[in-house]
Amino acid sequence: MADVRLVNVQKSYGDTHVLRDVNLEVRDGEFMVFVGPSGCGKSTLLRTIAGLEDISGGELSIGGRRGQRGAAGRARHRDGVPELCAVPAHDGLREHGLRPAAGQGAQGRDRQPRWHNAAKILHIEHLLKRKPKELSGGQRQRVAIGRAIVRKPEVFLFDEPLSQPRRRAAREDARTRLPSCTDELKTTMIYVTHDQVEAMTLADRIVVLSAGRIEQVGSPLALYEHPDNLFVAGFIGSPKMNLIGAELVAVVAGEATVKLPDGSLIRARVDATRAKAGDKVTLGIRPEHLGAAEGGSDGNTIDARITFVESLGSSTQAYSHFAGAEDDTLTCQLDGRLRPRQGDAMPLWLPPEACYLFDAQGLAFRRLVQATPAAGLRPAVAA
């Protein structure tokens, strides 16, 4: 077990700055997930921690021991402490010389029960006798995860370990099994993914990266409820948060009122006292909180017209035209029993406590709610 600390870490390749001022503390025993769009620097950050890349500036320490350069990273292994175990994105077995068939005999007696336990949880028992070339990409990844777990390192580093299974069901299966393997070990885990659903379901805390910078660090729910900025708001949550350009018209304690492009006035339960009327802002509302409004509701509604409907059974996803929203479209996740039809006019209700608000720089105004209420849906459009 070990904590990982990064202070002002920089990484550049020639003139290309890949990591900028990365400050981060991964706590001992924590499951930390790095998430961000492709090319934002997740793998580079992980490889830096693994000592596989030199850093161009700053400091990095693992378990209180400092290492700055790649050579120092490798030296960490020679010193015997701390052992890092990396499962890279592709073909983990070959890169690390881990052969599943060797899983039977390669480890000492104390590793045997752990290996069998991990193999059982990961559903790879039947694969242990096979050679790597006899395994699918997804199976290899699972074996690599199992092998990593058995080695019981101080820090696990996983780079998109579930990116290989092409079938969604196989990925989801492995994802739900991973926590039961790792919970037992209480080892520090750093896990890279571009998939925010994976991040939300696995992490104790998430680091959201964009263009080599940390946008926000926090628990999955903290990021969902209180994104610091527009980037995090748009990245965390699926389907994506609706964002509408607006103008601030009134600010009172505990509430801001904004005017949308169609002239409708919407109240948001945020502290916008640092801003003033006339300021450009962005209003955010998640698809799951955008409800069909009943007639005679307390305002905070907009008129939208349904352009497309997807019935998913448990939920109905409705897209409606609304000028000023991204792509002039609002996404609305309704109860599966609601089946609005294309072309229907549909008044939508924005619960004030479910609204998010961002200033012209994209920084969030503090929301004055602990948790978004489950409501946000007022069944009105009958199935």
Which of 10-18, 90-98, 343-351, 355-363 is the region at the interface with ligand ADP (rule: CB under 6 A)?
Answer: 10-18
Q: How far is the CB of 233 from Mg ion (least distance, A)?
A: 23
DSSP string, 122-169: TT-GGGTTS-GGGS-HHHHHHHHHHHHHHH--SEEEEESTTSS--SHH
Stretch that binds Mg ion, among 16-24, 36-44, 64-72, 150-158 (CB under 5 A): 36-44
Q: How far is the CB of 21 from ligand ADP (least distance, A)?
A: 15
Binding partner selected for residue 175 from ligand ADP, Mg ion, none, CB under the kind-specific 5 to 8 Å limit: none
Beta bridge partner(s), residue 28: none
With CB under 5 A as the contact rule, the residue among 3, 31, 41, 43 that binds Mg ion is: 43
| Torsion sign (Cα): 174, 179, 182, 184 | negative
Q: What is the DSSP string of 151-163?
A: H--SEEEEESTTS
* Nearer Cβ to Mg ion (40/318): 40
Task: Answer yes or no: are the C-beta atoms of 154 and 62 closer than 8 Å.
Answer: yes
Three-state DSSP class for residue 225: helix
Q: Which of residues 17-76 bind ligand ADP (CB under 6 A)?
A: 18, 36, 38-44
76 binds, among Mg ion, ligand ADP, none (CB under 5 to 8 A by kind): none
- At residue 20, φ and ψ (nearest 5 deg) are -125, 125
Residue nearest to Mg ion (CB): 43
Closest CA relative to residue 149, chosen from 113, 185, 199:
185
CB 103 within 8 A of CB 85: no
Given Mg ion, ligand ADP, none, residue 18, with its beta carbon under 5 to 8 Å by kind, binds ligand ADP
Minimum CB separation of residue 218 from Mg ion in Å reads 22
DSSP state of 342: T
In the complex, minimum distance from the CB of residue 183 to Mg ion, in angstroms, rounded to a whole number: 25
* Shortest distance in whole angstroms from residue 225 CB to ligand ADP: 25
**Count of residues interacting with ligand ADP (CB under 6 A):** 11
To ligand ADP, the closest distance from the beta carbon of 33 in angstroms equals 13
- The yes or no reply on residue 164 touching Mg ion (CB under 5 A) is no
Interface with Mg ion (CB under 5 A), residue total 1
**8 A C-beta contact, residue 161 and residue 141:** yes
Nearest Cα to Cα of residue 359 among 261, 265, 285, 256: 256
**Cβ neighbours around 249 below 10 Å, total:** 15
Mark 234-273 with x for binding to ligand ADP (rule: CB under 6 A) and - for no binding: ----------------------------------------
Supply the minimum distance, in Å, between the C-beta of residue 52 and ligand ADP: 11
- CA–CA separation, 90 and 73 (whole Å): 22
DSSP bridge pairs for 215: none
Nearer to ligand ADP, 13 or 308 (CB): 13
* Residues forming the site for ligand ADP (CB under 6 A): 13, 16, 18, 36, 38-44
* Residues forming the site for Mg ion (CB under 5 A): 43
